[in-house]
A and B are shown apart, each in its own frame.
Chain A
Amino acid sequence: DGGITQSPKYLFRKEGQNVTLSCEQNLNHDAMYWYRQDPGQGLRLIYYSQIVNDFQKGDIAEGYSVSREKKESFPLTVTSAQKNPTAFYLCASSIASHSGRMNTEAFFGQGTRLTVV
């Protein structure tokens, strides 16, 4: 089945440690996204990528890093510089506008709940 997979579902991190969240898709989508969800804040864009080896900062990129070495994968690293990393993280993918079509739907993973202990 085609879809987008995030792992792990729950993640615990000690203060001062970096941690990497995985996101894989087999939908052949060019565009991939990382969002952070906090109560009352909606989904805030961290980073997005329209094509392999390229990505753009979203609204809250500080303290996060990403890579896009493969079309299928868009891992997110939460660094020790992120002051309040405890949150629910959602990864998404979609077609990209350079395909000649507008982005008509984003598909989401199940999310990763990160807790700093």
Chain B
Amino acid sequence: AQTVTQSQPEMSVQEAETVTLSCTYDTSESNYYLFWYKQPPSRQMILVIRQEAYKQQNATENRFSVNFQKAAKSFSLKISDSQLGDTAMYFCAFTNRDDKIIFGKGTRLHILP
């Protein structure tokens, strides 16, 4: 069975700093997608970034980038120049061809002024 593990329940960083959120997963599949979702206090889930397992190049979306290590089954999210609006729960997620989407338990990120 696929699993997603986020080892950091909560983190705090100062505004403008860089922060990295960790995620590991377990699967025997060769092709799959990995995602980072953001859930702000409004509780609306927002896709931050996605990565296809077949692509070696790490995905980047503005201040958000990932470090995808397929052999290690690691998928960390780096937020550069953090902003107060980045304060949220962040969920790592996995899906493959069975369409089941599995989420980790989340990391609560606080950006401090």
Residues of chain A at the chain B interface (Cβ within 8 Å): 31, 33, 35, 40-45, 48, 50, 56, 58, 88, 90, 92, 94, 96-97, 102-106, 108, 110-111
Chain A: minimal CB distance from B42 (Å): 8
Contact of B50 among A31, A90, A104 (CB under 8 A): A104
**Total contacts A to B, CB within 8 angstroms?**
64
Q: How many residues of B contact A (CB 8 A)?
A: 26
Main secondary structure, interface of B, reads: loop
Residues of chain B at the chain A interface (Cβ within 8 Å): 6, 9, 31-33, 35, 43-45, 47, 50, 52, 91, 93, 95-106
| Docked CA distance A88–B32 (Å) | 28
| Docked CA distance A68–B37 (Å) | 26
Residues of A within 8 A of B99 (CB): 31, 48, 50, 94, 96-97, 103
- Contact A45 B45, CB 8 Å, known A103-B33, A105-B35: no
